[in-house]
Amino acid sequence: QWDMNNDIERVLYSEQDIAEAAERVGKQLAADYEGRTPIILSVLKGAVLWTVDVMRHMQYAEVEFIDVSSYNGGIASSGEVDLVTDLQTDIAGRDVIIMEDIVDTGRSLKFMIDLLMERGAKSVKTASLLDKKEGRVVEATVDYIGFDVPKAFVVGYGLDYKQLYRNLPYVGVLKREVYDPAHADVVDTVDITPEH
């Protein structure tokens, strides 16, 4: 029936697990940035839920948004990262904390770190809900990690498949028949493909 939870094979990180990780990372950031007012840079769209949950545990901080996209849609990733929407503030001399939902190849993160350093940021650190280290293609270090995640098709809590599942309160593994049509005939699935 019309229930996203049915598309999930298994839950990897529960709502409770994530709340604990957000508190742990947020409190660590509050301690590490004591006496400073960092700019929290949330990466649209995946990092939105993680950003708001972590920042609740922090102290004085500004929040900004940036939208970058890497062309990972095809079979082989082109490796190009595109700046879709730039942030609207001068970050020269500022301490910036990039908030990500997942770091995989590292291309998006490296692109943003290079951009911010080029613009004269005083410091750039990264806090990511998930660190998929096995996926790394370029060097990019996550300083604050929610969870080290194995290579699997994960969705939820910001992470999407075709723009859906971001609003699940947990992170789970998507059932194969949802994204692989070859397996769709064995199970009854709801057609979730948007019309456009």
Q: Which does 123 bind (CB under 5 to 8 A by kind): Mn ion, ligand PRP, Mg ion, none?
A: none
Q: Measured between alpha carbons, how far is 22 from 164 in angstroms, rounded to an integer?
A: 22
Residue from 7, 53, 100, 131 in contact with ligand PRP (CB under 6 A):
100
Q: Measured between alpha carbons, how far is 14 from 168 in angstroms, rounded to an integer?
A: 10
- The footprint of Mn ion on residues 44-63 (CB under 5 A) is 46
Rule CB under 5 A: say whether 156 interacts with Mn ion.
Answer: no
- The footprint of Mg ion on residues 111-170 (CB under 5 A) is 160
Active site residues: 104
Rule CB under 6 A: say whether 179 interacts with ligand PRP.
Answer: no
Q: Mask 27-56, x = binds ligand PRP (CB under 6 A)?
A: ----------------xxxx----------
Residue from 22, 55, 94, 104 in contact with ligand PRP (CB under 6 A):
104
Rule CB under 5 A: say whether 106 interacts with Mn ion.
Answer: no
Strand partners, 154: 173
Q: Return the structure tokens found at 188.
A: 């009854």
What residue type is 23 in one-letter code?
Answer: E
- DSSP-assigned states of every residue in 32-89: HTTT--PEEEEEETTTHHHHHHHHTT--S-EEEEEEEEE--SSSS----EEEEE--SS
Q: Applying CB under 6 A, which residues contact ligand PRP?
A: 43-46, 69-70, 72, 100-109, 160
